[in-house]
Structure 1
Amino acid sequence: MSDHKISADGLRIECHAAQNADCRTRPGCEAEGWGEEYCIGHDPGHPVAGGHECWQLAWVNNTSLEETYDGPGAPVTIYPGRAVRIVWNGYECTWDYKRRNANA
């Protein structure tokens, strides 16, 4: 199963990643950012750990899927149940469809 896919109703992206996946790994505090081990901006820093809700969904589901799509073709066609790839581009997350071959 893919870690992220379009919901059955086609209105949002769902996360099916393991508890220790990168998208579920973050500090337990409300830090604006974090490194590999600790949050940024708190002294002492809070440790980064898995088991959280997917932090990427807040970015891509905050508005319509059409507005957060960053792939080929415009306007985007929504395919419920299809696997997607979420990308952090430095200031927000966007998504596109995951390629169907093994190298995607």
Structure 2
Amino acid sequence: MNGAHDVPTTRPEKPVNPSTLPAAANQQLAEIAATTLGLETLETRHADRLDFHDTAVWCIRDALEAAWLAGAAYAGRHTSQNDPHAIQGTGSVTARR
């Protein structure tokens, strides 16, 4: 990558294992990807036309925001009320389009 706009086209060396997340989290990520990015699946399909997408930055931001809010909501439901570092969530996430 030589320029400011160069984007890596290969997957990082460290494999991402979706099984490390609970099934509910994977389902929520898939829903976020579908509603904000228009992606049919987050599974690798080993075909460039299926695995690479031309996506607007505002859609990517919406997806990241939705994922962050979902994590914050989860943390708010699963941390002690006495924990000063607990993130209090906002509930369900509605992505804007």
Q: Which interval holds the TM-score relative to the shorter structure?
A: under 0.3
What TM-score, normalized by structure 2, do the two folds share?
A: 0.24
Where is the strand percentage greater, Structure 1 or Structure 2? Answer: 1
What TM-score, normalized by structure 1, do the two folds share?
A: 0.23
Higher relative contact order (CA 8 A, sep 6+): 1
The structure with the largest alpha-carbon Rg is: 2
